Amino acid sequence: MNNDSPQAASNQFFKTRLGVIAATVGSAVGLGNIWRFPYEAGNNGGAAFLFVYIFFVVAIGIPVICAEFVIGRSTRRNIAGAFRELHAGFPWNLPAGTGLLASFLIMGFYSVVAGWTIYYLYESFSGFGGIAETAQLHERFDAFTQTPWKSLVCTLLFLLVNFLVISRGIRNGIEKFSNIMMPLLVVILLAFCINSLFLPGAKEGLSFLFSPDFSKITPGVVLSAMGQTFFSLSVGMGTLATYASYFNDRTALVRTASVTAVSDTIVAILAGIMIFPAVFSFGIQPEAGPRLVFEVLPSIFMKIPLGALWSTLFFILLFMASLTSTISMTEVSTSYIIQEWKLSRKKAVVVNAIIVTVLAVICALSFSVLSGIKIAGMTFFNLSDFLVSNILMPLGGMFISAFVGWRLERRVLRRQLTPEGHSARTPRYISLIVFSLKYVTPVCIFLVFIFGLL
């Protein structure tokens, strides 16, 4: 272990193995699974998208998570400091820049959607005004997002909570939150999946999600599936490297990466099973876009006994899941500012909060007063998401994997990836991961870029 590192000095390590898993899974599981996955799948042909997505999680996701972990734990620094310490010159150190940029942009639009969960929590109390008709819920969503002050208040409220938690530091802030909330979220998702299986549209919904029509796979679908992989696993922008800088030497990296990827994918699939039967049962278009889940969920809740109660519980959990994710995003830039600019955690949080708030306000208003302003046909909200998920994160992932696969000393890589007690022989899976980092990942990402963007 590197004892003069900033983390060692402030003694900021995750305390327990459960804490590590809870924090990385907490980062991965969030709006990406429950809000973004269903509408991306809906836009991109359902099952065909799911299959490409799962392929990417295994072939690219798990190896790149490992690569980020190695970078973070072998240096115990923020993302820029880590690349410097590993003597990664240009262009290998590009992910430090793209990662920081992405972490601000993503916070901008993510906190708007997290703000929606607060509004829907509030609406749950009143049972959405007693409405159960999907058409009216459609209008209600518009009425909310198109009223500037309402969406601003919710977004800012979310940001306030986020930055309060962050300013308290790693241990207290993150560990406690994730340990309780994640398992509860899975339980309630399961309950809703079962409920959805009894809806009249269940068969159609399930076949939309699970029986692929491979003719629907276009370069655009593949690009979206890759974007979703990076977004959902929080990988490619240094979030996981930053978290790994707080891991201790006993944390088994490959296992942590696999547990994170598998649980994240399970939650996304559960969200799909919950949403798509309802989509077909209530006659909603699967291509409805970012609003999809926010129309489908109330329709489900208002048709079951004690709907308002379920709805409240669900949105509280969704809010918490968003929070554990934004905490991890914010940590990239916070740890950068603390270590590179030598500011205290409190001051770093303030700098961060100012930048993010400006971006979030623009994103929130891009549904109302700024809706006319479009760049490349996209509002600021859509553009941030597109840039982050489909460009910056995969680009970061490409450089991270190529760097770890080709440039990093093989000895360092082996030592980091080999769990303690195994030092005598190198486990077979390490060669597989190295192979993917050298060939599969960079080439795949590069090809998807070429075909998907042209």
Q: Give the binding site for ligand TRP (CB under 6 A).
A: 27-28, 30-33, 106, 231-232, 234, 237, 239, 325, 328-329
How far apart are CB 147 and ligand TRP at their closest, in Å? 25
The strand pairing partners of 375, in sequence order, are 378
How far is the C-alpha of 123 from the C-alpha of 237, rounded, in Å? 34
When the beta carbons of 393 and 434 are compared against ligand TRP, the nearer one is 393
When the beta carbons of 13 and 231 are compared against ligand TRP, the nearer one is 231
How far apart are CB 355 and ligand TRP at their closest, in Å? 16
Q: Which residues contact 446 (CB under 8 A, 6 or more apart)?
A: 398
When the beta carbons of 237 and 300 are compared against ligand TRP, the nearer one is 237
CB 299 within 8 A of CB 138: no
How far apart are CB 363 and ligand TRP at their closest, in Å? 15
How far apart are CB 37 and ligand TRP at their closest, in Å? 8
When the beta carbons of 242 and 281 are compared against ligand TRP, the nearer one is 242
How far apart are CB 410 and ligand TRP at their closest, in Å? 28
Tokens 């430090």 sit at which residue?
Answer: 96
Looking at residue 375, the DSSP 8-state letter turns out to be B
Q: Which residues contact 193 (CB under 8 A, 6 or more apart)?
A: 270, 273, 274
How far apart are CB 452 and ligand TRP at their closest, in Å? 19
When the beta carbons of 19 and 30 are compared against ligand TRP, the nearer one is 30
CA dihedral 76, 82, 86, 92 (to 10 degrees): 150
What is the DSSP code string of 379-404?
-HHHHHHIIIIIIIHHHHHHHHHHII
User: Which of 255, 274, 262, 304 is CA-nearest to residue 193?
Assistant: 274
Q: Which residues of 150-160 are buried (b: 16+ CB within 10 A; e: fewer)?
A: bbbebbbebbe
Helix axes 148-167, 94-125, angle to 10 degrees: 120
How far apart are CB 279 and ligand TRP at their closest, in Å? 20
How far is the C-alpha of 40 from the C-alpha of 52, rounded, in Å? 12
When the beta carbons of 106 and 275 are compared against ligand TRP, the nearer one is 106
When the beta carbons of 79 and 365 are compared against ligand TRP, the nearer one is 79
Amino acid at 256: T
How far apart are CB 381 and ligand TRP at their closest, in Å? 15
How far apart are CB 41 and ligand TRP at their closest, in Å? 14
Respond yes or no on whether the N-terminal peptide bond of residue 91 is cis (omega within 30° of 0): yes
How far apart are CB 149 and ligand TRP at their closest, in Å? 26
When the beta carbons of 137 and 226 are compared against ligand TRP, the nearer one is 226
Q: How many CB atoms lie within 10 A of CB 258?
A: 17
What is the rounded radius of gyration, in angstroms, for the C-alpha atoms of the chain? 21
Q: How many CB atoms lie within 10 A of CB 375?
A: 10
When the beta carbons of 178 and 239 are compared against ligand TRP, the nearer one is 239
How far apart are CB 180 and ligand TRP at their closest, in Å? 18
When the beta carbons of 27 and 312 are compared against ligand TRP, the nearer one is 27
CB 169 within 8 A of CB 345: yes
When the beta carbons of 128 and 336 are compared against ligand TRP, the nearer one is 336
Cβ-proximal residue to ligand TRP, closest one: 32
How far is the C-alpha of 138 from the C-alpha of 442, rounded, in Å? 41
CB 5 within 8 A of CB 247: no
